[in-house]
Amino acid sequence: MIVLQSMELSNEAALGIVATERERKRKRNDMVMLEEEVPVALDTSEVIAEFDARTKDAERVQKETLKKILQENGGTEYLKKWGLNGRTDPESFKACVPIVTHDDLDPYIQRIADGDDEDSPILTGKPITTISLSSGTTKGKPKFVPFNDELMETTMQIYKTSYSFRNREFPIGNGKCLQFIYGSKQFKTKGGLAAGTATTNVYRNPLFKKTMKAMQTPCCSPDEVIFGSDFHQSLYCHLLCGLIFREEVQVISSTFAHGIVHAFRTFELVWEELCADIREGVLSSRISFPSIRSAVSRLLKPNPELADVIYSKCQGLSNWYGLIPELFPNTRYIYGIMTGSMEPYLKKLRHYAGELPLLSADYGSSEGWIGANVNPKLPPELVTYAVLPDIGYFEFMPLKHDYLEEAKPVGLTEVKVGEEYEVVVTSFAGLYRYRLGDVVKVKGFYNSTPELQFICRRNLLLSINIDKNTEKDLQLSVEAAGKILAGEKLEVVDFTSSVDTSNDLAHYVIYWEINGETSHDEVLQECCNCLDKSFNDAGYMSSRKVNTIGALELRILKKGTFHKILDHYVQMGAAVSQFKTPRCVPHSNSRVLEILCNNVVKSYFSTAY
C-alpha cells in the first residue's frame, strides 16, 4: 500500500511538472509571437495533441485547475470569508463556498472598479487591471466583469484549439480574414481601471493580432477601422477593405452571425458607392473621421478593373443569393457564433453564403470561455462544444424541462448524455461557483470531457401565469409563422417579444420587422394566429383556453427599428461585435420598449383560441 501511494505521488508530481512545462512553453511561445514581426504559423497538430492529452483525464485536470485557482487566490477577502483555510480540494470548496449569481458578486466587483483592492486583494490574488462590460441586452444594462491576463490566455487557447480542428477540415493558406469586428471605447473606472466590452479588451490586446497572424488569418481592415468611433463608418470601411483584398480573403467572420448578416444587408444599399470609391481611388465623403479616412485611403488606389468586376457580379445576382462567394471567390468558410439567439439569422446567412459552409464559433461569455467547436463540419443547429478542462473549474446544475427545478450540481465528468444543466463556473478572474445562466444539453463526450449543446438562456422566459416559454420556444414559433410570410416573398428581418400587463388580461406581444409592404393584412393575421398556436407549452395552452392569458398580439414595426435598438446599445457603450438582439424585453428595459412601441405601424390580435 505504501509503495502504491508513493508511485501515485510520483506520477502526480510528474504530471504536474509536465503541465507546468507545457504552460511555460505556451507562455514562451506567446512572448515570441509578441516580439516577432511575422510569427511562425501555429503548429495545429501539436495543439490538437495537447488538447487530447488534457481531455483524456479531465477529472484530474479539473482538480489541478481548481487547486491552482484556490492557491493563487486563497488569500483574497472573498475566499477567506468562507473559511477554506488553505484547502484546495473540490469537496471542501463545494462545502464552504456558495453558488452565486452576478448580483451576489457585483458589490465586490464594484469595489475593485473603485480601486478598493490596492492594499488588500478582494477577488483575485493578482490585481485586476481591466473590467469587461457585458452586452447589456439581457437586463437592459451592462454588467461589470473582472478581466485579467489569465482570461486573455484562455481566450487565445480557445481560439488556437478551435482553429486547429477547423483547419484540419478546412485548411487555409496565407490569406486574410474579412472580420466584421468593432472595438468600443474604453474608459477609466473610479479606481483607474480600463473598462470596455469583453471583445474590446481582447481586440486591444497585442496577443490577439499576433495570434490571428499565427493562424494565417490577419484582418483585412486596419486598427483604425476596428476601433473607429462611428460603427456605420467602420462597417462601410470593413466592406471596402474586404473588396480591395477580395482575392486574398479566405474567411468571412464576425463575433456573431448577426454581424455578418447586417454587414451584407448594408452592402445591398451601398455597393454602387463602394464601386465608385474603388474606381476613382477616392474614399466616400460619408467617412468623416480623420483616423479612419487616413488609414483606409492608404489602401485605396484607383482600380477601374476591380470596380467593373464587382459591379458586374452585383448586377448578375438574383436577389443577392450567393453574394459572398461571388465577391470573395477564395473564401473557404464563414465563421461566427451561430447558436442561441443567432439561429434566426442562419436562413439569411445561408442565402448570402450560397454553398459555402457555415462554421459556428466557440462557446463562452463575457465572464469567460467554456468550450471549443472541435467538430466544425456539424451544421450550426447541431454544433457542440468540448469543454476545455484546464481553463476553469466547471459544475453543472441538473434541470428539469421547465428550468425551475434544480438539483445538487455535479462535476464536469459526472454529467449524463441527454440531460440538461445550468453551467456554474469558477474562473481565474475571480468568479467562484458563478451561475452563468446558460442551459446546455450533454450530447456526448470527447475523451472524458463533455460535448455541450447550447439550449437557451435560463432567465429569458416569456411567462405570465403557469406558462414557461423559452427563447428557443419563441424562435420556433417565429419560424413556423415565417413560413406563411415566405409565401408572399416576405421575410422577418428581426424580432423580439415582451409581456403586456397594462390590462387585467396580460398577453404576449411579438414584434416583427419585415422586409416588404405591411399591407398583407390577411397574411399577417394568419401569421399572428400561427404564432399563438405554435407555443405548445402546456401551461400556456391551458391558460389561453380558459382565458387567463389574453390573445397574442403581433406588432409590425417600421423598417430600421432594430437598427435604432442597436444604436441605443452602442450609445450605452456596447460594442457592435457583442450585440445580440434582446429576444424578450423586460419591463425594466424601458428605453427599448419605448423604441419598439414608438415604431409600431400595425397590430394584430390572435383569433386562434
* pLDDT at 263 exceeding the cut of 70: yes
Rounded distance, CA 599 to CA 557, Å? 5
Q: What is the DSSP string of 574-602?
A: --GGG----SS--TT-HHHHHHHHHTEEE
Cβ within 8 Å of residue 29, ≥6 positions away: none
Does residue 181 contact residue 256 with C-beta atoms inside 8 Å? no
> Looking at the predicted structure, is the pLDDT value of residue 8 above 60?
no
Residue 584: predicted pLDDT: 86
The pLDDT of residue 14: 38
Mean pLDDT of 465-491: 86
Burial code of 398-424, b = ≥16 C-beta within 10 A, e = fewer? bbeeebeeeeebbbbbebeeeebbbbb
Q: Which of 230, 240, 223 is nearest to 295 (CA)?
A: 223
Q: Which residue has the higher pLDDT, 209 or 225?
A: 225
pLDDT of residue 208: 80
Which residues neighbour 512 within 8 Å (Cβ) at sequence distance 6 or greater?
A: 478, 492, 495, 527, 554, 555, 556, 557
Reply yes or no on whether the pLDDT at 149 is more than 80.
Answer: yes
Order across the sheet with 187-188: list the strands: 144-147, 130-133, 194-197, 187-188
- Which segments of 338-468 are extended strands (E)? 358-360, 363-365, 368-372, 385-387, 393-398, 410-411, 420-426, 434-446, 449-457, 461-462
Asked if the model's pLDDT at residue 580 lies above 80, the reply is: no
Cα-to-chain-centroid distance, residue 282: 35
Q: Which residue has the higher pLDDT, 503 or 409?
A: 409
Strand ranges, E, within 220-294: 249-256
CA-CA-CA-CA dihedral for 404, 407, 411, 415, to nearest 10: -70
Amino acid 84 reads L
The span from the CA of 96 to the CA of 83, in Å, is 7
With a cut of 70, say whether residue 577 has pLDDT above it: no
Share of the chain above pLDDT 90, in %: 50
Q: For residue 154, is pLDDT > 60?
A: yes
Mean predicted confidence (pLDDT) in 470-484? 89
Question: What's the rounded mean pLDDT across residues 317-327?
Answer: 92
Q: Distance from first CA to last CA of the chain, Å, rounded? A: 72
Encoded amino acid at 263, one letter: A
State the pLDDT at residue 141.
Answer: 64
The answer to whether residues 72 and 428 touch, using CB atoms and an 8 Å cutoff, is yes
pLDDT, tens digit, for every residue of 366-377? 888 999 999 999
Rounded to an integer, the average pLDDT of 457-483 is: 83
> Please, what is the average pLDDT of the chain?
85
Report the distance separating Cα 261 and Cα 235, nearest Å. Answer: 12
Give the count of beta carbons closer than 10 Å to the beta carbon of residue 214: 24
Q: What is the pLDDT of residues 288-303, one digit of tens each?
A: 999 999 999 999 999 9
Over residues 567-595, mean pLDDT: 79
| Residue 539 grid coordinates | 401551461
Query: Beta strand 385-387 with 449-457: parallel, antiparallel or unpaired?
Result: antiparallel
307 SS3 class: helix
Output 382 or 9, whichever has higher pLDDT: 382
What kind and span of H or E run contains 480? Answer: helix 471-486
Any idea how long the chain is?
Answer: 609
pLDDT band of residue 552 (cuts 50, 70, 90) is: very high
90: confidence class by pLDDT, cuts 50, 70, 90:
very high
158, 232 Cβ separation under 8 angstroms: no
Residue 140 has pLDDT above 60, yes or no: no
pLDDT digits (tens, 9 = 90+) for 167-191: 999 998 888 999 998 877 777 888 7
pLDDT digits (tens, 9 = 90+) for 11-42: 334 334 334 444 544 444 444 344 445 557 78
Say what the pLDDT of residue 170 is. Answer: 93
Alpha-carbon distances, residue 496 vs 87, 143, 243, 462 (angstroms):
47, 21, 33, 11
Higher pLDDT, 86 or 62: 62
Asked if the model's pLDDT at residue 146 lies above 80, the reply is yes
pLDDT at 191: 79
Specify whether the CB–CB gap between 468 and 537 falls below 8 A: yes
Residue 139 pLDDT level (bands cut at 50, 70, 90) = low
- Give the model's pLDDT for residue 7: 28
Task: Give residue 408's pLDDT band: very low, low, confident or very high (50, 70, 90).
Answer: confident
Lowest mean pLDDT among 13-27, 32-46, 387-401, 509-523: 13-27
CB-based contact 182:577 (threshold 8 Å): yes
Which amino acid, residue 172? I
And the C-alpha cell for 565? 435598438
Helix H or strand E encompassing 568: helix 561-571
Looking at residue 136, its pLDDT comes to 56
